[in-house]
Amino acid sequence: MKLKHRLFASLAPVIALAACGGGEPSPQVPSSTVASGSQPTTTPSAPATAEEAKKFVAQVDKELRHLWIARDSAGWVNQNFITDDTEALSAAGEEATAAYVSEAIQKARRFDGVQGIDPDTQRQLLLLKLAQVVPAPSNAAEREELAKLQSEMTATYGKGKYCPPEGHLMAWRTKDADGKPLNPPKACLNLDDLSRIIKKSRNEAELLEAWKGWHSIAPAMKDKYARYAELGNKGAKEIGFADMGALWRSGYDMTPEAFEADIERLWQDVKPLYDDLHCYTRKKLRAKYGKDKIPDKAPIPAHLLGNMWAQEFNNVYDLVEPYPGQGSLDVDKKLKDKRYDATKMVKLGESFFTSLGLDALPKTFWERSLFTRPKDRDVVCHASAWDVTWNDDLRIKMCIEPTEDDLITIHHELGHDYYFHYYYKLPTLFQAGANDGFHEGIGDTLALSVTPEYLKNIGLLDAVPQGDKGKLNFQMKMALDKVAFLPFGLLIDKWRWDVLNGKTPKDKYNEAWWALRTKYQGVAAPAPRSEADFDPGAKFHVPASTPYVRYFLARIYQFQFHRALCKAAGFTGPLDQCSIYGNKEAGKKLRAMLELGQSKPWPEALAVLSGEKKADAGAMLEYFAPLRAWLKDQNKGEQCGW
């Protein structure tokens, strides 16, 4: 599936519990800096008690819910109607929320070390310290500036277009997504259009122009991003963190240092599988594009991998398919042949969840969601899931096309909505995934059950590919998505952590970006780049302030979840052939975990589903074991690595 579609916006400010970073206690924020009527009140001069702590978090729950509803309502409107006015409204919502959270964190310090506080209250007090992804400085003018910068960067991304010179990319400017003629031709191409070229074209010059065209939208963000990082760091330091990256790494029920060690452990477990896949893919792309474009033992140019960010390789499946002719896996053609429109595709996604015994989506979901790109206005088409009023007001916002990628993305976004649905009655600070990787992994877990057998049963494949050759074709298709993404899932936050802690200065932003992409992915820029460029800004999650390592974790978790749900369903065969569709026992296990939200540390939530308390890449390695053996054989004689 395309990670470009990945954001659940309405819970972006809420991340999981962990020990806070170091730093000196910050001074009290004057109440005059917080919106009137939005300050939790305590009595600083009186000794704090456990009962007062309970009352405090109850008040925070009420006020925070009110502010997050206002913020997310403005955010929904802004992303669906991008104008200067809606940008201002969204920024005001962010500012009010950030001001309140900063004030509340300061006042919560009064309860540090108080004896007798019940576990739920204690957890909410700790979660409060991590409740703002971009913490605002106490200075009102700086807080307003920070909120404005966030809205402006997101809007710049949403409005981004490339206008080719006369005569360029005409094959893509004169036809719509279905191949129907356009008259007159498009003067400018948006991200959907440019991504279609990257996905479908096999003309290297076209691919390069589309890649460069989209990345040309980002330099305008560079100065804004540097100032945003400066102000976000200032806010983080005021609430006791070394920098904003340290705050983000504190959200996993362990210290930031332990978390970094844990993700490195997981990466080292899966890196050999990625290296084998990279080596084989490069060999096949070299055969297509030539040794002058892809030399031996060299990184792969980013524009040749079928995805605007080279974050997955699934769109070059036709070039790397192990056994052509061994059964079609072309779901796109079937979706078009059967006239699947956006609503019908979402209905199909919903039917998987309801087959497990989970509830149907509410009527308002169908009335309030955005399924297609409007023709009359700019919108942020990056797919996202929302509970706008934090009261089962479920929606998705997505510009759906009849493709398998988008069908899988629908499962992903509905996974967020079902998580919202099953925990929305919990206290506000518990309304999040056990950690953010859990939230990203739920829908993808169910998508692992979208097997060839399942697709044949619903009429989207004519036949299930048979034998070892058919199985390897399917495994390759899955690996080009799931395995290929892993290093990209790590490097975005590694780049940001180094920016935020000062290791990477502004005049090294782009150099550091491509150094990490080469180191982890074995991917290189397809054209000369300089510090006049700002290629990180061409990826939505950077201007949108969305921490990204969650997606790496989700790739690991989803196979671990899948293994556990298959066991609950009584399945005993190979993991890649398991589908839990229609199994109510698996549905009960899943629901039990969803209902916990963030009320328990994530190892406890994992144990409810699987009986395990540690992230384990073993399930992914088990799933892809047949492909790994085949890749090693295919790579004999190849100079792997870069």
Q: What are phi and psi of 394, to 5 degrees?
A: -75, 140
Residue 413 annotated among the catalytic residues of the structure: yes
Beta-bridged to residue 162, according to DSSP, are 189
Is 416 annotated to bind a ligand? Reply is yes
> In 3D, which of 274, 181, 258 has the Cα closest to residue 522?
274
Q: Determine the Cα–Cα distance for residues 248 and 18; give it in Å rounded to an integer.
A: 10
Beta-bridged to residue 181, according to DSSP, are 175
Q: DSSP string covering 341-362, please?
A: -HHHHHHHHHHHHHHTTPPPPP
Q: DSSP string covering 31-72, please?
A: GGGS-TT------TTSPP-HHHHHHHHHHHHHHHHHHHHHHH
What sign does the CA torsion over 134, 139, 144, 145 have? negative
Kindly give, in sequence order, each residue whose CB lies less than 8 Å from that of residue 282, ignoring residues fewer than 6 positions away: 294, 298, 300, 522
Return the residue matching tokens 């009595």. Answer: 43
- Contact call for residues 598 and 622 (beta carbons, < 8 A): no
Q: Determine the Cα–Cα distance for residues 570 and 173; give it in Å rounded to an integer.
A: 51
Q: Which of 215, 278, 303, 541 is catalytic?
A: 541
Is 440 annotated to bind a ligand? Reply is yes
CA 489, 491, 496, 501: dihedral to nearest 10 degrees?
130
Q: Determine the Cα–Cα distance for residues 245 and 638; give it in Å rounded to an integer.
A: 39
Q: Determine the Cα–Cα distance for residues 231 and 141; give it in Å rounded to an integer.
A: 11
Is 252 annotated to bind a ligand? Reply is yes
Q: Which of 63, 103, 413, 562 is catalytic?
A: 413
> In 3D, which of 540, 535, 532, 538 has the Cα closest to residue 524?
535
State the binding site for Zn(2+). 412, 416, 440
- Binding positions for chloride: 252, 550
| Residues with catalytic roles | 413, 541
